[in-house]
Structure 1
Amino acid sequence: MFVRTVYATGNPAQLGTAIRTLNTQGHDLLEERPGFRGAGVFVDRSLGTLFSVSWWESAEARDHSDQVMRERRPALLHPFAGTVAVENYEATVFPVGHRPLTGGGMRLTRLEFAPADADLAFDTFHAGVLPRLEVLPGFAGAALFLDRVRGRGLVGVLFADRAALDGSRAGHALIRHESVVKAHVDVVALEEFEIVHADVRPD
């Protein structure tokens, strides 16, 4: 699986317009693209940040879709977005078989590592981190995105509701502290978002 992420910042008062447009026009555009396998929209309403993810069965399907989405994206995010950053990753770990989520919480961790340590980052997360995350109360899914060439990654952990997200901070911090040493990665940012919608269909 492969993903494209869009990170936009803007006026919090205009965020609702972007959410509605993405959930209607944006979703319809994505569904029309070959190889589309789901999408997620995550927001921080107080800060005015929006993080969206689209899932693709291949890197080729993702890249081909961007020819259309690149042209339509400014209109979809208008008038909210003041800045927009688009990135591509390989989804090396992703939620399987969970129900679509709405209204929960997501914690996003941004990672940097030496490109040669990409496999170590994957192995550490898959074998050591994921099993410990799965027993946190309210856990609803997790994903690991890697850019092996640039040495960058994202970890997204989903929780069923805001209370579970809030209550997981101490336990998740301990897991994170122990795992970054084993994986030889650096945490460069940590954010939390409300889940507007999250759904991935691997098959």
Structure 2
Amino acid sequence: MFVRTVYATGDPARLDTAIRALNSEGRDLLEERPGYRGAGVFVDRDLGKLFTVSWWESEEARRNSDEVMRERRPALLEPFAGTVAVENYEVAVFHTLPHPTAGGGLRMTRVEFDPADADLFADTFHASVLPRFENLPGLARAALLLDRERGRGIVGTLFTDHRSLAASRAGQAAARHEGAAKAHVTVVGLEEFQVLHADARAD
């Protein structure tokens, strides 16, 4: 699969306006596009951050949806968004357990690596990091997203509730440290979000 992410920041007091638009018109727009496989909406209400992910069955399907979504996105995010960053990734690893529930938590780890080490990173994550994640109570989903050309990636872990998210911090930190050393990656960002909506169909 392939994904498009949207990372927006703005006035926390105006965040709910964007959420309502995304959950109504935004979802309808996505579901009309061929090859759509699901989406997620995640927020940090205190700081005013909005992170969305849309999943696509092929790179072509994602690319074909870009024009429509690019035209409609500003209206969907107004008046909340002061900054908007859009990125595209390949899904290198997708592992799902119990379905995440609204009110759960997402931990997002941004990494950078030598593009030549992309396969090493994916293999290390699948063989060494993912088994350790599976032992974290409350884990609902783990995914590795790669931009091979730019040498950038995102590790996303979803938990069924905030208590499990908080309790997993030490365990995931240990796995992150070990995996980063083995795969020659550098962690450049670590954030947590509340899950408002999350679904993706890998089959």
- Same-fold status (TM-score > 0.5): yes
- Unaligned stretches of 5+ in structure 1? none
2:193 match: 193
Report the Cα distance in structure 1 between the residues aligned to 2:15 and 2:3, rounded to whole angstroms: 23
2:82 match: 82
Alignment of 1:1-203 (within 5 A): 1-96=1-96, 98-99=98-99, 101-203=101-203
Report the Cα distance in structure 2 between the residues aligned to 1:113 and 1:158, rounded to whole angstroms: 23
- Letter aligned with residue 49 of structure 1: K
- What per-residue deviation string (whole Å, max 9, x for no partner) do you get for residues 58-96 of structure 1? 001001101100000000000100000000000111234
- What per-residue deviation string (whole Å, max 9, x for no partner) do you get for residues 116-153 of structure 1? 00001000100110111011011111000000000000
- Letter aligned with residue 78 of structure 1: E
Report the Cα distance in structure 1 between the residues aligned to 2:97 and 2:28, rounded to whole angstroms: 23
- Letter aligned with residue 110 of structure 1: R
**Equivalent pair of 2:108/2:191 in contact (CA under 8 Å):** yes
- Letter aligned with residue 94 of structure 1: F
- Unaligned stretches of 5+ in structure 2? none
SS in 2 for 1:99: coil
SS in 2 for 1:94: strand
- Letter aligned with residue 60 of structure 1: E
Report the Cα distance in structure 1 between the residues aligned to 2:117 and 2:138, rounded to whole angstroms: 31
Deviation at 1:178, TM superposition (A): 1.0
Report the Cα distance in structure 1 between the residues aligned to 2:100 and 2:36, rounded to whole angstroms: 16
- Letter aligned with residue 7 of structure 1: Y
- Letter aligned with residue 70 of structure 1: R
Report the Cα distance in structure 2 between the residues aligned to 1:172 and 1:43, rounded to whole angstroms: 21
Report the Cα distance in structure 2 between the residues aligned to 1:171 and 1:36, rounded to whole angstroms: 33
Report the Cα distance in structure 1 between the residues aligned to 2:97 and 2:171, rounded to whole angstroms: 25
User: Measured at CA, do residues 35 and 100 of structure 1 come closer, stay the same or move farther in structure 2, by a change above 3 Å?
Assistant: farther
- Letter aligned with residue 133 of structure 1: F
| RMSD (Å), alpha carbons | 1.0
- For this pair of structures, how many residues does the alignment match? 203
Report the Cα distance in structure 2 between the residues aligned to 1:180 and 1:43, rounded to whole angstroms: 26
Deviation at 1:100, TM superposition (A): 5.1
- Letter aligned with residue 80 of structure 1: F
**Equivalent pair of 2:101/2:161 in contact (CA under 8 Å):** no
User: Measured at CA, do residues 126 and 138 of structure 1 come closer, stay the same or move farther in structure 2, by a change above 3 Å?
Assistant: same
Report the TM-score, using the length of structure 1 for normalisation. Answer: 0.98
Report the TM-score, using the length of structure 2 for normalisation. Answer: 0.98
Question: What is the identity percentage for the equivalent residue pairs of Structure 1 and Structure 2?
Answer: 71
